A = this chain, B = another copy of it.
Amino acid sequence: MKDNSSYLFGGIEGGGTKFVCAVGNETGEILAETRFPTTTPDETLSRTVDFFKEQIQALGPLASIGFASFGPLDPQPASATYGHILPTPKPGWTNADVVGPLQASFDVPVSFDTDVNGAALGEWRWGAAQGLDTFIYLTIGTGVGGGGLVNGELMHGLLHPEMGHIPLPRDSAVDPFEGNCPFHGDCFEGLASGPAMEKRWGQKAETLPPDHPAWDLEAHYIALALRSFVCTLSPQRIIIGGGVAQQPHLMPLIRQKTQATLNGYVQSPAILENIDSYIVPPALGGRAGVLGAIALAQQAF
C-alpha cells in the first residue's frame, strides 16, 4: 500500500474576481500556488490548465483535482450540464463548461462543487467543523452564500443551496434601503453583502468605523438569517467567512442578536450557553477556499 502523504492533489478556488490554483498533499500542505484574475472562461481555464501542467512537471502527477467554483453551477455528475456554470450575471460565463477543459487535459478524477461547499469541506477536514456531520459555512462579502454538510455529506439536493437569497424581514422605517439583489431586492444578500452596505451607507463597508450604526444593522440581518438556517437545518455549528464578516467587532454582535431572535426557542446548550463556539469564524481563515478545493480533490480520489 502506498503512503497517502506522497499523493498530490490539485485545487482550484474559482471566484468571480480571481482564481487561486494550488497543489497540496494529503495533510493539506500547499506545495505550489498561483492566483490570477477571472477573465473569460477560455483564458481563465487555459491559465489553470497551464499551471497544473507546469506543476506536474515540477512536482509529479496529481491524484485528482478539486474545483470549488462561484455559481450557480451544476454539480451533479449524472446531469447533461454537469460541470457547467448556470445562467449568471457574470458576462461570458453563462453555460460555460468549466470541468470539460480539465477532464480533457488531465486523466484524473475531477470533483466540482460550489465555493462554499468546498470551504465547508476544508473546515470539516482541517478547521472548525472537524467531527461534525451537520453544519453550514456562510460567506458574507461581495456576495452572500452558504454550503455545508448534512448527515455527513455535502449539501446538493435539487442543485445546491443559495442561502444568500432567503427572504428576511426589513422594517422600512429603520432601514429604507430596498436592497440591491437584481432578483429579490431585499433578500439576505440584497441587504447584507458588502456592495449592499456600500450602497446603503455611501461608503465602503471596510471604511465604516466600528461604532457606526451600520454594524448593528448588519448584525441584525445576519442574526435573522442565522435563525432561519438554525430553524430549517438545525446545524451543529455555523462558520461565517467572507470579507464583511472579518470585521472583528461584528462576531460578538451576531452571536448576541442570534440568541435574542431565537428567544430561547431552540433548547440546546450549544445555543443557550455556548454561542461563542456555535457561531465561529473559519479556523482556516482566508485559506478555507483553497484548502477546501484540495479537500474536494481528496474526496474525488
A61-96 Cβ-contact flags toward B at 8 Å (1 or 0): 000000000001000000000000011000000000
Q: CB distance B183 to A235 under 8 Å?
A: no
Q: CB distance B232 to A228 under 8 Å?
A: yes
Supposing A167-B228, A169-B167, A261-B167 touch, asked if A267 and B158 sit within 8 A by C-beta, the answer is no
Supposing A134-B156, A168-B169 touch, asked if A183 and B263 sit within 8 A by C-beta, the answer is yes
CA–CA, A231 to B234, complex, Å?
A: 15
CA–CA, A212 to B133, complex, Å?
A: 45
- Please, which residue of chain B has its CB at the minimum distance from the CB of A269? B158
Q: Which of A14-22, A23-31, A147-155 contacts B (4 or more CB under 8 A)?
A: A147-155
Which B residues are CB-close (under 8 A) to A235? Answer: 157-158
Count chain B CB atoms within 10 A of each CB in A86, A161, A235, A265 and give the residue with the most: A265
- Please, which residue of chain B has its CB at the minimum distance from the CB of A267? B86
Which B residues are CB-close (under 8 A) to A264? Answer: 183
Which B residues are CB-close (under 8 A) to A228? Answer: 166-167, 228, 232
A270: interface (CB < 8 Å): yes
Which B residues are CB-close (under 8 A) to A168? Answer: 167, 169
How distant is A135 from chain B, measured CB to nearest CB, in Å? 8
Which residues of chain A from 161 to 195 have a CB within 8 Å of any chain B CB? 161-170, 183-184, 186
* A interface majority secondary structure: loop
Supposing A261-B167, A264-B183 touch, asked if A150 and B155 sit within 8 A by C-beta, the answer is yes
A38: interface (CB < 8 Å): no
Q: CB distance B263 to A158 under 8 Å?
A: no
Q: CB distance B157 to A236 under 8 Å?
A: yes
Which B residues are CB-close (under 8 A) to A255? Answer: none
How distant is A273 from chain B, measured CB to nearest CB, in Å? 13
Cross-chain contact of A266 among B162, B164, B169, B267 (Cβ < 8 A): B162
Which B residues are CB-close (under 8 A) to A146? Answer: 232
Q: CB distance B234 to A265 under 8 Å?
A: no
A227: interface (CB < 8 Å): yes
Cross-chain contact of A267 among B72, B155, B157, B163 (Cβ < 8 A): B72
Known: A162-B230, A163-B232. 13 other contacts (CB 8 A): A87-B267, A134-B157, A134-B158, A135-B157, A157-B236, A158-B235, A158-B266, A160-B234, A161-B231, A162-B266, A163-B231, A166-B228, A168-B169
What are 12 A-B interface contacts by the 8 Å CB criterion?
A: A87-B267, A157-B236, A158-B230, A158-B271, A159-B267, A161-B234, A163-B231, A167-B224, A167-B227, A183-B263, A183-B264, A183-B265
Name A's B-contacting residues (CB within 8 A): 72, 86-87, 133-135, 146, 150-153, 155-170, 183-184, 186, 224, 227-236, 261, 263-268, 270-271
